[in-house]
Structure 1
Amino acid sequence: MLEIQNLTKVYGKVKAVDNVSFLVPGGQVGILLGPNGAGKSTIIKSIAGLLRHDGQVRICGLPGRSMEAKKIFAYVPEIPAMFEALTVREHVEYIRKAYNSQVSDDEIEFILKRFELWDKQDKLGNELSKGMMQKVSICCALAIKPKVIMLDEPMVGLDPQAIKELKEVITELKGFGVTVLISTHMLEMVEGLWDIMFVMQKGHIIGSYRKEDVGNKELEDLFFEMTGGGK
């Protein structure tokens, strides 16, 4: 479970996020939507612990800033950052040891092969394309076997095969009871994945929909219905 309570972030005299609250239950996929400047990135960075903020973030009932919460939380940023002098495999091993992960060598092999990185294990961080860095970031997140995972525009830069694999991974994580939050503007990419959507506008959550309540309505139609926009 991921719970946000009264989250507020102020830059100078500007409230980028104003008293936002929402919850993604365990085993469900939440989608955070909104136009540029709506406050999505601020919320994502606040949840990840990268920004100081008012309000609370709770991960499986634990305070978001606590070490216990951080051990079960994974974050895939929109712009992945690699260590230039570490190889692909060393990035994964670094995360594995930092989190004292119980993931096995066979599981690491499976993850790397799944995202077509097995034969690229020895490539250095400064040799990777944006798409490859994104895949390494995803593999590192999966290597800790998180109970809550947050992905910020995870499909930008990925090739079609990697997008397909990531969608399958998200579905599998959901089946294992993992909480997933995805921030994106690529509505078509998450159409078949979401359980609950939250729409942001000008620093506020202006509404939400649960998939079970909207029947066969498409995500794009629901988004524009709430924001008053159009195709």
Structure 2
Amino acid sequence: MPTHPALQVDKLHVTLSSQTLLQDVSFTVQPGTLLWLTGANGAGKSTLLRALVGLLPHKGNVLVSGVSPTTLTGRKCCVFVPDEPALYDDLTLREHAQFTARAYQDEQAESRTIDFLQRFRLTHHLDEFPTLHSKGMRQKLSLSLALGLSAPLLLLDEPFNGLDAEAQQVLRLALINRAEHGGAVVLSAHQAEIGEALTQHASRARVAVLREGTFVERGLPL
């Protein structure tokens, strides 16, 4: 059984160009929890997710499974999917699956990623390069790579953007299943109907609202 929270944030503060973007954000996410981040545009959702994985300078403490997310061990414990797919233009979809499995030293990740690519109906594109594909198809690849990994924490920034209705359903079920089997999921989604569908069907669901850089939680207590 895990001995540490999947994610522990204490007094996170982000300031860029003398502007405070996040102020004293503190919360904990236990294994098996799905946390939906919502809020108006510019409230700080993307800023928070990027700060959690060390992509933005910040003050305060962030621990993933008890270690810093910027260490080698911490990086293996969490997977971040940004709002814009970050892919290698010179690798095919199949090669992305192989590379990610090796990078994370996760032997089963390649086959799990291929399985998700099939669920997203990309089977016939496995040997193509992502530069040939639409944004929605690239998003499906990015999500398949993340879902194929067995990391304890999954962080996703607006993952439903650009997905067709069938793909949204695949992703919803995958995220709920991930949480039900002990993984922790933190995602931002501005679509109320999607967030509500997730939190209604995940047994340990929480909702947090970001307002002008502050964190206000509804639902289960911290």
TM-score, length-scaled by structure 2: 0.90
Q: What do residues 58-109 of structure 1 show as CA deviations (whole Å, max 9, x unaligned)?
A: 1122222221121121111111122222111111211111111121654343
| Mapping for residues 1-231 of structure 1, pairs under 5 Å | 1-103=6-108, 106-194=111-199, 195-205=205-215, 207-210=216-219
The verdict on how the C-alpha distance between 1:104 and 1:65 changes in structure 2, with shifts beyond 3 A counting, is closer
Q: Secondary structure at the match of 1:17?
A: strand
The verdict on how the C-alpha distance between 1:9 and 1:110 changes in structure 2, with shifts beyond 3 A counting, is same
The verdict on how the C-alpha distance between 1:101 and 1:15 changes in structure 2, with shifts beyond 3 A counting, is same
Q: CA RMSD in A?
A: 1.5
The verdict on how the C-alpha distance between 1:109 and 1:37 changes in structure 2, with shifts beyond 3 A counting, is closer
Q: What do residues 98-140 of structure 1 show as CA deviations (whole Å, max 9, x unaligned)?
A: 1111216543432221121221101112101111111100111
Cα distance in 2 for partners of 1:6, 1:84 equals 38
Cα distance in 2 for partners of 1:183, 1:138 equals 14
Larger radius of gyration: 1
Give the number of equivalent residue pairs. Answer: 211
Cα distance in 2 for partners of 1:175, 1:30 equals 13
Cα distance in 2 for partners of 1:200, 1:105 equals 35
Cα distance in 2 for partners of 1:90, 1:155 equals 24
For the 8 Å contact 1:101–1:145, the answer to whether it is kept is: yes
Q: Secondary structure at the match of 2:57?
A: coil
For the 8 Å contact 2:94–2:114, the answer to whether it is kept is: no
Cα distance in 2 for partners of 1:48, 1:143 equals 19
Unaligned runs of 5+ in 2: 1-5, 200-204
| Matched AA of 2:206 | I
Cα distance in 2 for partners of 1:99, 1:26 equals 20
Cα distance in 2 for partners of 1:131, 1:94 equals 21
Q: Secondary structure at the match of 1:63?
A: coil
Unaligned runs of 5+ in 1: 213-231
